[in-house]
């Protein structure tokens, strides 16, 4: 009996830590725009993503070699999922998001990323056959409402129409669809691979596509910047690749290995909360009472979903 109790406690702790690792990994994405906005002054969106993936390749290659046994017995479905998360989620989605920051309203771009759950929920039901948690629909609406309050306050959607109907927002919508699908595909791959292997393949397989896109884009590289500017660009690229890039995905996939895709996609709502804090700290945009209310709504949703998931896993 004691052994059964110990197993239940261990399972509960694993479920709890997994969910919050996804929250932490997604929260690190919130600092990503800081680096990208600075880098856009010297490089194109595609060049930024290519250089970022070259840095990540140098880190990921040894990890993949150490875990090469995970590649045995890969089926066609695994290869399709790998191409989706690498070409779609890592390469194309990151390019679209970076271009969205350059061409659209930052708040609108961030808010539209919260449409990821809609894409992820549909794919999780179709591909992974996941059942939704109790009251999931109501909780999802509550979390989306909190996200809206964080971003736009009490202004009506029609008042924000000019921010949504523009190129930047359409690019952000495409990124949301690809990232939402990558959540599901990553969850599928983690059934047969280590999370370190999935993360490494995500970066490595994206490189050929990024090289081709950069080549056909036709934009020249900015080689006229001075040594000081080049050093600053290099530091920004390194920090961007290792913090919101590598570290966030390692935490994210580690958590996702014990978290259903439909739960994980709600945990990712920590992303816009960090974005609001960044706006407050870096750009001196004060947090309003309305934004604090939205913050509370989102974290209440995350906490409730986490507790519900623990209880469901323990009883399983």
Percentage of the chain surpassing pLDDT 70?
82
Which stretch of 74-88, 104-118, 218-232 has the lowest confidence by average pLDDT?
Answer: 104-118
Question: Which token pair is 281?
Answer: 């700290």
Listed ranges 66-75, 105-114, 158-167; the one with the highest mean pLDDT: 66-75
- Is the distance from CB of 282 to CB of 157 less than 8 angstroms? no
pLDDT band at residue 100 using 50, 70 and 90 as cut-offs: confident
**Distance (Å, whole) CA 79 – CA 96:** 23
Least Cα distance to 39 among 31, 29, 30, 47 occurs for 47
What's residue 141's pLDDT?
86
What's residue 191's pLDDT?
85
> What are the strands, taking DSSP E only, across the chain?
none
pLDDT tens digits, 13-40: 665 688 889 889 988 888 887 888 888 8
- pLDDT at position 297 over 80: yes
What's residue 301's pLDDT?
80
pLDDT tens digits, 204-237: 999 999 999 998 887 777 766 777 788 888 898 8
Residue written as tokens 């920004």?
A: 236
Q: Is the dihedral of CA 116, 121, 127, 130 positive or negative?
A: positive
Least Cα distance to 51 among 86, 91, 106 occurs for 91
Q: What is the average pLDDT score of the chain?
A: 80
Question: Residue 295 belongs to what H/E stretch?
Answer: helix 289-315
Residue 259 backbone dihedrals phi, psi, to 5 degrees: -135, 130
- Is the distance from CB of 304 to CB of 150 less than 8 angstroms? no
What's residue 33's pLDDT?
79
- Is the distance from CB of 263 to CB of 23 less than 8 angstroms? no
> What are the strands, taking DSSP E only, across 190-313?
none
* Residue 104 Ramachandran class (φ > 0 left, ψ -120 to 50 alpha, else beta): beta
Average pLDDT over residues 111-129: 74
Least Cα distance to 203 among 233, 248, 172, 254 occurs for 248
What's residue 14's pLDDT?
62
Q: Exposed/middle/buried for 37, CB within 10 Å: 0-12, 13-18, 19+? A: middle
Average pLDDT over residues 117-123: 75
What's residue 176's pLDDT?
86
């Amino acid at each position: 009996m004691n052994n059964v109790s110990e197993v239940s406690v261990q399972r509960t702790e694993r479920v709890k830590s997994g969910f919050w690792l996804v929250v932490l990994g997604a929260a690190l994405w919130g600092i990503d725009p800081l680096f990208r906005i600075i880098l856009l002054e010297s490089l194109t969106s595609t060049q930024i993503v290519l250089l970022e993936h070259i840095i990540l390749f140098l880190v990921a290659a040894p990890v993949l070699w150490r875990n090469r046994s995970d590649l045995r017995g890969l089926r066609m479905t695994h290869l399709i999922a790998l191409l989706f998360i690498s070409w779609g989620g890592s390469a194309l989605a990151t390019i679209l998001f970076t271009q969205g920051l350059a061409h659209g309203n930052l708040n609108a771009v961030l808010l539209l990323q919260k449409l990821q759950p809609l894409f992820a929920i549909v794919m999780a039901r179709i591909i992974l056959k996941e059942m939704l948690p109790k009251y999931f629909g109501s909780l999802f609406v509550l979390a989306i409402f909190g996200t809206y309050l964080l971003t736009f306050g009490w202004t009506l959607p029609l008042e924000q129409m000019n921010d949504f109907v523009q190129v930047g927002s359409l690019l952000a919508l495409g990124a949301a669809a690809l990232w939402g699908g990558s959540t599901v595909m990553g969850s599928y791959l983690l059934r047969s691979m280590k999370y370190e292997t999935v993360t490494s393949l995500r970066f490595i397989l994206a490189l050929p596509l990024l090289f081709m896109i950069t080549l056909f884009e036709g934009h020249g590289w900015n080689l006229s910047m001075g040594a000081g500017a080049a050093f600053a660009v290099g530091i920004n690229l390194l920090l961007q690749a290792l913090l919101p890039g590598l570290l966030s995905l390692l935490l994210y996939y580690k958590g996702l290995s014990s978290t259903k895709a439909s739960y994980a996609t709600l945990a990712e709502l920590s992303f816009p909360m960090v974005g609001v804090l960044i706006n407050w700290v870096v750009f001196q945009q004060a947090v309003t009472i309305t934004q604090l209310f939205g913050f509370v709504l989102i974290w209440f949703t995350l906490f409730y979903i986490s507790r519900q998931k623990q209880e469901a896993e323990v009883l399983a």
